[in-house]
Each structure stands twice: as C-alpha cells, then as structure tokens.
Structure 1
Amino acid sequence: MTVTEYLDKALADSEKAAPEDLVFSHKGILYPFTFCNPETFQVLDSFEVRSDDVILAGYPKNGTNWLDQILNDLVITAAKYTEEEMNERINIGNELSVFLRLEFGDPEKFKRMKELPSRRIIITHLPPQVLPKSIFKSKAKILLLVRNPKDTAVSYFHFHNNMPPLPSFNSWNEYFTAFMHGKLCWGSYFDYLIEWNKHIDDENVMMITYEEMKENRASGVKRIAEFFGLLLTEEQLQAVAERSSFQAMKANAQKTHGAFGNVLFRKGDVNDWKKLFNEDQNQEMDKTFEEHLASTKLGAKIKYEVYCKT
C-alpha cells in the first residue's frame, strides 16, 4: 500500500466513525484510532532502532511533513541511488505496507520494518518518554523540530477541523481551551517540549526551529545534512532547498499525500496566530510559556519574544 493509498483509506474510514470513536487514550495522552492502534503501543518497545536510522521528532503541525521531504531528498541525493535502486526501495516499502510514522499502523509493522533497507527515515510525534528505549540506546541521531506555540496552536486548530480522523471543535475559543490543557491528539505541546528539553544536550539530538527554516531554508538544509553525516555538494544542497519550498511541496501535495495534501500544506506562514488570538488568550499563552519553558534551553531557542509578542 502506498502512502497516498494509506491516507486515502484512513480518510474514508474515519468519515464513517462516530465522534466518540475517533480517539483512544494511552498513558494519559489521546491518539486517533484512524492512524494509531492501541495494540501497536503495547509492543512499541519491541522496535529495534538501527544506529544509522534517521529520526525526526516533532509535535503535530510543527512542520514534520516538510522536514520529511527534506530528509528523504538528502538521503537519496547523498546515496546516489539509480532510478532502479530508488524504485526498488519504494516497492519494498509499499509491499510491506509500512508507513514510516512510528506510532501509525498495526502491531506487526515493527517485524516488517526489519526488512526495510538502510537508511530508514522514521518520523514520530511521540514524546521521548513514550518512544522505544532502543532509540536512545542505539545512539541513532534525532532531529527535533520545534515551532512557536501560538502558530502551532492555530495550525493545529485548522488541522483538527479539516481532518475527519480528528475530533472537530465548534469554535476557536473551545479549541484554545483544549490546546492549553493538552486535550488534543498527541497531548500537551508544553509537556512535549518539557520532556524533550531533558535531551537537549544529548550529542545525538539536534534541535531546529520551523522559524529558522523559514528564514533561511538553505542554511537549515545544510545543517541537517552535516548533522546526519550526509555528504552533498553546495549545488546539491541548494537543489534540495529549492525542491522543499512550501510552494513546490503544495503543488506536489496531491501526488505525495493524496486527498490529505491540501490539509497538510495549508499556508506555512509565521505569525498566523495574530488573526485568531485575543488579548486574554495572548496573556494566558505568555504566562504558560513563562512558567514552563522560558527558562529552559529549548525554550530560549524558540525566540518567543520575537515570534509570539504583539
């Protein structure tokens, strides 16, 4: 099953489900039934990570689909695959029905993933305390992608209300309360970053922000390639950066993500939050960030004063 077939089937299945049947809870965090399986979480620790796996972690709507495109392009370009080799890799993944989001799919997927050739690119929205222990034991390199909380909240609001597999909200105000209390799929944005801050100094973890990628995509692409030890020329790096522009990805979204394409690649803006936040919500978000993240290394890298102040 291809990625687009998987996503299209998930969309069709979720449209038949009652609202109360859309989510389940695992260790106090909500997950969507359409993509995730409670039994998969029970065997998550059985997943064996390879030291050369490329792992991308990020809270939902922080830009993981964008960085997934960049990572795939970098790995393919650095490996110098022929067209035949590329097609073989794609066919193996399709035949095994493995969608490389760690928490997606059936519990047998981890056995099938053993047959995938290196380098595997693995994406996850899971917080570190839920991840398989082998991720940290293996010393596989982890790219942590972070976006400022206000733009994350707005982007996730539109995502929730345009994605049948996720519960929808009657209003922005109703959603904002849920966001601030972590009552969304994949849980609290703040708890997620608090947990990842514990790993910010790990030598195998690199953090990059959505905003710095927007400001200078070419520089970000180069940093990512160097972190994963992917050897590309300056010309190749520039080509990867150009192919990963928001406009290029949105134009190709139907092919890469099927019916989900328009929902996944909505606007890609910075400061979109100013259209929805009222003054009380601004103050609540500012206070929560100050209390939980402002004094952390990870929080400092978000540049809250730059991106989240009116």
Structure 2
Amino acid sequence: MQSRMQLANQISDEEKLYRHNGVLYPRIMCPEDNLKALENFQAREDDVVLVAYPKCARGSDSVSQAPGDSPASRQHPRFLPGKENKVSWGSYFDHALAWEKKMDDPDVMIVTYEELKQDLSDGVRQISGFFGFGLTEAQVQQIADESTFSAMKQSAADSHGNMGNVIFRKGEVGDWRNHFTPEQSREMDDAFAKHLAGTRLGEKLNYRLHCQ
C-alpha cells in the first residue's frame, strides 16, 4: 500500500486513471494488468470469491450496502445514471443489477452491511452455514467480536498502514445524511426507484429504512 501511495505522488493526475472496457478505473488501486488477468481466470470448485462495489461494505459470497449509505455515495455521481462514465468503477446500479440475476444461484450468498451491523453474530451463523462450517456458539461470538468495525479499525494500522484511517472511516449506518444535500438525496431516490425498486435485491437492501 505504501509503495502505491509513493507511485501516486510520482505520476500526473491524468495518468492516475484509465479506461478498461469503457469503465474508468484508478491505476493505483486497480492496475490494468489485474483486470486483464481476469479474462483468463479459471475458478476452482473450492475457491471463495468476495465481491463488493468499491467502498461498499459484495464467487460465492457477495457483500452489498444500500447505495445512499455507502461511503462512496459522498461522490454521488457514480450512483446516478448518465454520470457513471465520469467517475471510477462505473455505475453502482449496473453492479447491483448484475447480482440481482444471481439471487437464485446456490453458490452465491448476498449479505448486506446493514444486516451485519444490526446483528453480526447472526450474520456469522448464516455465513458459516452457507459454507458448511459447524461453529460452536463460542466460536461464533469470538468471530463476531473480532469482526466488528471498531475492532478492525483498531488493528488497521497493522493491516493497512497509513491508509487505515482512510479505509476504515466511521462504519455507521445513515452517515449519508451528513454528506448529501436534499437535491442529491432526491436524485438518489429517483435512481433507486428506476433501477432497483421492485427487485429482490432492492428489497433486501431495505432502501426506505436506511436511505430515506
């Protein structure tokens, strides 16, 4: 991570971004060679792949976060149709709709950050059950205790160096209210209604509770 930050200081702003298949990516965090390697990636039967939209706390395991509640939503254009071409990682809604198609896939488990935040112990039980792990209640509680946001933030200096406080911000549900203007909030509501309202993933995200 430190070497990447040093590289960021050595290249121009224009060089920090590139397009791959029409989507804008940050070169420091996502080297193009990584994306090219995915084209020939062959998954093994016992592989576990964690997938998430960047800065959302989402192949067999997927973690999602309600769009308005994501730290990335502070840069809200990436969530709005027609503007995703101007920001890194592309459209949140394209990402979410791709996983909506996997809701019935027995090899895919979709977990939301809000669910884990509400009851982390139950989330550990569900995830361990999905993978066929038989955990004792003591093991469930130990994993839950060591997986809280505060616990991970405390150890961030060891795991992520100086980037720890950047990656682990607040971990709060509803913090979007401190960053969105009323107009931005309405834009997000309209975008969610257009793309995810009426879908099973949209229902699971519980947008009305967390983002309105």
Q: TM-score range by the shorter chain?
A: over 0.9
- The residue aligned with 1:207 is 110
Asked if 1:217 corresponds to 2:120, the answer is: yes
Of 77, 92, 100, 1:177 maps to 77
Shift of 1:45: 2.6
Asked if 1:266 corresponds to 2:184, the answer is: no
Q: Is the 8 A contact 1:26 1:38 kept in 2?
A: yes
SS at match of 2:60: strand
TM-score, normalised to structure 1, is 0.64
Asked if 1:299 corresponds to 2:202, the answer is: yes
Shift of 1:299: 0.7
Measure the CA separation in 1 of the matches of 2:64 and 2:24: 20
Measure the CA separation in 2 of the matches of 1:46 and 1:277: 40
Q: Where do residues 1-310 of structure 1 align in structure 2 (5 Å cutoff)? A: 7-63=1-57, 142-152=60-70, 155-156=71-72, 175-180=75-80, 181-182=83-84, 183-309=86-212
Measure the CA separation in 2 of the matches of 1:197 and 1:40: 25
- Percent identity, please: 40
Shift of 1:52: 1.1
Gaps of 5+ in 2: none
> In the superposition, relative to structure 1, how do residues 280 and 231 fare at CA in structure 2: closer, same or farther (>3 Å)?
same
SS at match of 1:43: helix
SS at match of 2:94: helix
Query: Which amino acid in the other structure matches residue 291 of structure 1?
Result: K
Q: Is the 8 A contact 1:54 1:228 kept in 2?
A: no
State the Cα deviation string for residues 212-255 of structure 1 (Å, max 9, x = none).
10000000011111111122211111100001111111110010
SS at match of 2:29: coil
Measure the CA separation in 2 of the matches of 1:35 and 1:281: 27
Shift of 1:39: 3.5
Q: Is the 8 A contact 2:63 2:112 kept in 1?
A: yes
Measure the CA separation in 2 of the matches of 1:15 and 1:156: 23
Shift of 1:179: 4.1
State the Cα deviation string for residues 2-33 of structure 1 (Å, max 9, x = none).
xxxxx111111112221111111111111111
Q: Is the 8 A contact 1:149 1:189 kept in 2?
A: yes
RCO comparison, higher one (Cα < 8 Å, 6+): 1
Q: Is the 8 A contact 2:79 2:188 kept in 1?
A: no
State the Cα deviation string for residues 103-150 of structure 1 (Å, max 9, x = none).
xxxxxxxxxxxxxxxxxxxxxxxxxxxxxxxxxxxxxx5111111111
Measure the CA separation in 2 of the matches of 1:36 and 1:148: 23
> In the superposition, relative to structure 1, how do residues 178 and 233 fare at CA in structure 2: closer, same or farther (>3 Å)?
closer
SS at match of 2:4: helix
State the Cα deviation string for residues 22-66 of structure 1 (Å, max 9, x = none).
1111111111111333333333232221111111111011127xx
